[in-house]
Amino acid sequence: MRRCPLCSGELEEKTVTHPQEYKGRIIILENVPAEVCRQCGEVLLRPDVLERVQGLVWSESAPRRIAQVPVYDLAEVT
Ligand SMILES: [Zn+2]
């Protein structure tokens, strides 16, 4: 059983939705296999998964769909 590097909590195999910044835009990747900490929620991607994520992002291939993403600015919150 692998442990979380931040809090030593138990890691659980899950598929996650992973946001990735690329050329100033946010790209969302769905169904990414990851290890998620049960304690603090830290998401860890294995190096081979990270490589596949980067390969897909850099290929700039047509996305499955385009989603609208809400943007908030913390500086506007008083
Ligand atoms: Zn943790």
pLDDT tens over the chain, length 78 residues: 789 999 999 999 999 999 999 999 899 999 999 999 999 999 999 999 999 999 999 999 999 999 998 999 999 887
What's residue 49's pLDDT? 96
What's residue 77's pLDDT? 82
For the chain, the straight-line distance linking the first and the last C-alpha, in angstroms and rounded, comes to: 44
Task: Spell out the domain ranges in the chain.
Answer: 11-76
What's residue 58's pLDDT? 93
- Cα(25) to centroid(ligand 1), Å: 28
Q: Are 78 and 65 in contact (CB under 8 A)?
A: no
Class of domain 11-76: alpha beta
- Cα(11) to centroid(ligand 1), Å: 8
> Rounded to whole angstroms, what are the CA distances from 10 to 33, 38, 44, 73?
16, 6, 12, 33
